[in-house]
Amino acid sequence: MTTKQLLPPITRGVVALRDVATTKEQIAANGVGKRASPQDTPIFICELNACNRLFPSRDRLALHRKRDHNTDDVFTDVLTWNSESNPQDQMRE
Ligand SMILES: [Zn+2]
């Protein structure tokens, strides 16, 4: 059995130093970072056969499914907080 190596055998650690120059006012003025919401960060995870690849849209997921899983199904085994639900689920409601 082979195991996939997730990290290179040698990693070079760097000591993180505290930022003593930046003020709270500078951070507030420059707007560093922003809170993301599910609406502006769409994500679709293909859970078919433990694939677990991420896609920014259902269309991209569909291309992947067609190419790598040979299926047109883009609703089964999909983890997402975005967009429309499965039309078949809506019919059941
Ligand atoms: Zn997949």
Ligand 1 mean position, distance from CA 12 (Å): 33
93: which residues sit within 8 A by CB, 6+ positions away? none
Identify the pLDDT of residue 62.
96
The distance of Cα 43 from the centroid of its chain, to the nearest Å, equals 5
- Taking the centre of ligand 1 as the mean of its atom positions, its distance from the CA of residue 35, in whole angstroms, is 28
Contact 77, 47 (CB under 8 A): yes
Give distance in angstroms: CA of 65 to centre of ligand 1: 6
The pLDDT assigned to 71 comes to 96
The pLDDT of residue 39: 72
Q: Specify whether the CB–CB gap between 52 and 46 falls below 8 A.
A: yes
Q: Taking residues 5-23, what's their average pLDDT?
A: 80
pTM as predicted = 0.55
Which residues, at least 6 apart from 56, have a Cβ–Cβ distance to it below 8 Å? 42, 43, 44
pLDDT per residue as tens digits for the range 23-59: 888 888 877 677 777 777 888 999 999 999 999 999 9
* Ligand 1 center from residue 57 Cα (angstroms): 13
